[in-house]
Amino acid sequence: MHGLFRTLIDNMVVGVSKGFEKQLLLVRAGYRAQTEGTDLVLFLGFSHHVRMPVPEGLKVKMEENTRVTVSGYNKQSIGEFAAKVRKWRPPEPYKGKGIRYAD
């Protein structure tokens, strides 16, 4: 097999055996995150808190208030959820304040 199908099968095997993870950094004073049940709650300077339900098959760990780790076995769903979180405050180009990938 070549190309796309080989990569998809390889990602499935690696996902089940090792798993995937993405780390997000919340960079700015006052930005923080916490988990409440199955929800990720973000405090991003809005007048309200941003509450995002974590999809099935994903785990969210908080190493600090400003570091969020999304892990699971499906690489695509991890990337989609991390992109949805990042979309709330993408990093600005000058000082990099916002939500950015740690990798």
The ranges assigned to domains in the chain are 4-101
CA distances (Å), origin 76, targets 11, 12, 69, 88: 9, 10, 15, 19
pTM above 0.85, yes or no: yes
Q: CATH code for 4-101? A: 3.90.930.12
pLDDT (tens digit, 0 to 9) for every residue of the chain, 103 residues total? 678 888 889 888 988 889 999 999 999 989 999 999 999 999 999 999 999 999 999 999 998 889 999 999 999 999 999 999 999 999 999 998 999 999 7
Which token pair is 86?
């990042």
Dihedral of CA atoms 4, 10, 16, 18 in degrees, nearest 10, equals -130
